[in-house]
Structure 1
Amino acid sequence: MKAKWLAATIFASTGIAYGQSSVTLYGIVDSGVEYYNNSSTKGSFVGMPTLTGEVPSRWGLRGSEDLGSGFEAFFVLESGFALSNGTLGYGGRLFGRQANVGLSTPLGSVTVGRQMNMSMYALFDADVIGPSVHSMASFDTYLPNARSDNAVGYLGTFGGFKLGATYSFGRDAAGPVGPSATNCPGQVPGNILACRQYTMLAAYTGPQFGAAASYDVMRGGNGATAPLSSPGATDAHVIVDGYVSFGSGKVGMGWVRRNTSAGSHAQSDLFFLGGNYFFTPAFSADAQVVRYILRSHSDSTLMVGRLNYLLSKQTTLYTSVGYVINSEFGNAPVAAGGTVATGKNQFGVMLGVQHKF
């Protein structure tokens, strides 16, 4: 009792007070049945997707405490999983999507831990399809997995303008299973470059239009997944995109340039144009065309259409259709996590259900 009284006296004398706090359990459970032809075994596939439906399945805990004067402490713990078999995603990590703590201030928020970096924030508004089963993930698996381990991040909102940055001391501590697991934990004494990553963002978000630009540089590490298997190797993404909203619809477009210094110094360009429209509050349609060019090697074009019907605020039925056209040496699959025979076009369709809580 004396200890509790002493602590209360110290808090009172220093002006420290307990603020209002809350913890929220949330999640999305999303899956269905998909089909695609011309797999790498030259047959067709019918089954459940392992990576994503309309969006990846996840659950999480989000907490915050009001500290007063515009300050707030917060944390996020978010886990991704495959609904088809119950396994953990993101390299088998319990909280592979996010695991961070931070402080929000009138000048922006500072976050420490595994977190979404600025490449993901740059795509939020312009990419109307998102990390779906048929999406730009077919060309660059990093885009729907743009997260950084061991990172310190800042994000500030000033009116409609946003400025943000992250710096990672070791960008990916998981491996080697999964598209987001590259076995590059970094934080090596005496090697300041190993597995470092930094991302930057400048954006404007308004009710009728918006635009965003981001820059993202990843470094390799000894023993990490190729091609970033040495600290001198880099993988850089530049994203420039925007959107225009009108009535019940929106059009989004953008460009993603990727440069990889390792090996043959590969360079690619990805262009996307899409839109969505709500015919009624419960029924909407999405469409997108993605053009991918891998310099001096191949090119591919993906066309996606999706219909969504809300049974309630929490439950949605959807169907997604995709068709990818590959050049002679192109090997982009129509479905995330799928396979395709080199040089073959591919058709895919999925029927799914999504429930939010």
Structure 2
Amino acid sequence: MRSVLRSIAFFSLVLVSRLAYSQSSITLYGIIDTGVEYYNHAAGGGSFAGMPTLTGEVPSEWGLTGVEDLGGGTKAFFKLENGFAPGTGGFNYGGREFGRQANVGLQTAYGSLTLGRQNNMSTYAVLNADVIGPSVHSLYVFDNYFPNARSDNAIGYMGKFAGVTVGATYSFGRDAAGPGGPAATNCPGQVAGNFLACKQYTGLIAYDSSRFGVAASYDRMRGNAGASAPLTSSAYTDSRSVVDGYFKLPSLRVGGGWIHRNLSAGAASMVYNLYFFGLTYTPIALLALDAQVDKYIQSGVTSSTELVARASYYLSRSTSVYSSVGYMINGRNGSASVAAGGTVETGAEQLGVMLGVRHTF
């Protein structure tokens, strides 16, 4: 009996010392953002009024993140992040429970290594320069890949060294859900005998200081048979390059950049350039005023220009109300809607307005 008691005492001490040495934390967080939007000249004629289906000022989400200190400057971490539609309560991102992120990794002084579904480097490239972000009226109405720039089955690295950030991801199969909107293209890859199927790699280099920053990224993905159009073959590729920057003063932030896309997919092949320039002015701590102009050019085919203005007022640290106005000027063959997830008559100019509320926790 004494031997048993000594063993219990010993293992209890080991457990207590382990808990003291390995400090862990888990955080629940989220955003709920919705409102009412209106836009005219919808496809088929008429106008639309209702709740947005994709995003408000930012997409709604909730998540769990955890960190464990392993000692010696090494930490283990995980992140589970769900995206949802407040209007219906349904899952976004192809109906996935954790469609925004689901990953685990290790962080050291030399950078972090992440395994699983994660943001790829295209996300981080536009994060600081785009002052509007993934809003209902934003530059992403021209290319809805960017607010959904995540990779399944991926290995990611990111390191920060004296203001310089370097990062890369490699995906064995970039998108295992679908079809179900821009975040689900049914390209899981990892096919025996076809190494190229649904592969994707992204890279980033950036510099940030207290006053300004610049970033550049490259993103290349492949398709496969059965995937959503246009990447219906592993021989087809879709590449995006980003170069952008920003600078900031005490009450002003200015950002701008260039996005280049080269889609090589048979008859669906295309090349476009997208330029953006915007600013955020905060006359008082509780009020933010944003404005941005976006220019889309598909040479020899069409061009479109979008103007966006937004005002956000903070009722508290967690709750804000906002008004967003967008105006789209489409070329003769242009078909970009002023609103995320919206429709437009080809070649029409379009006005969009949204009033919303956002709460974070």
TM-score (norm 1): 0.96
Q: Aligned equivalents of 1:233 and 1:90: distance in 2? A: 23
Matched residue SS, 1:31: strand
For residues 151-300 of structure 1, the aligned pairs below 5 Å read: 151-264=154-267, 265-300=269-304
Q: Which amino acid aligns with 1:333?
A: S
Deviation at 1:8, TM superposition (A): 7.0
Corresponding residue number in structure 2 for 1:97: 100
Offset from partner CA, 1:287-307 (integer Å, 9 cap, x none): 100000112211100000000
Query: 136, 140, 161: which is aligned to 2:139?
Result: 136
Matched residue SS, 1:126: coil
Matched residue SS, 1:337: coil
* Alpha-carbon contact 1:266-1:295 (below 8 Å) kept: no
**Match status 1:325 vs 2:329:** yes
Q: Aligned equivalents of 2:46 and 2:208: distance in 1? A: 45
* Alpha-carbon contact 1:287-1:304 (below 8 Å) kept: yes
* Alpha-carbon contact 1:151-1:171 (below 8 Å) kept: yes
Q: Aligned equivalents of 1:207 and 1:190: distance in 2? A: 49
Corresponding residue number in structure 2 for 1:73: 76
258-267 vs 110-119, greater mean Cα deviation: 258-267
Deviation at 1:279, TM superposition (A): 0.7
Alpha-carbon spacing, 1:310–1:17, altered in 2? closer, same or farther (3 Å) = closer
Q: Aligned equivalents of 1:256 and 1:318: distance in 2? A: 28
Query: 139, 145, 148: which is aligned to 2:148?
Result: 145
Corresponding residue number in structure 1 for 2:62: 59
Query: 127, 130, 148: which is aligned to 2:130?
Result: 127
Q: How many residues align?
A: 356
Q: Which amino acid aligns with 1:320?
A: S
* Alpha-carbon contact 2:21-2:71 (below 8 Å) kept: no
17-26 vs 313-322, greater mean Cα deviation: 17-26
TM-score (norm 2): 0.95
Deviation at 1:223, TM superposition (A): 0.7
Q: Which amino acid aligns with 2:247?
A: V
Alpha-carbon spacing, 1:199–1:4, altered in 2? closer, same or farther (3 Å) = farther
Deviation at 1:173, TM superposition (A): 0.5
Offset from partner CA, 1:258-279 (integer Å, 9 cap, x none): 0000024200000000000111
The share of aligned pairs that are identical, in percent, is 60
Matched residue SS, 1:313: coil
Q: Aligned equivalents of 2:11 and 2:130: distance in 1? A: 51
* Alpha-carbon contact 1:319-1:351 (below 8 Å) kept: yes
Q: Aligned equivalents of 1:54 and 1:294: distance in 2? A: 27
Matched residue SS, 1:226: coil
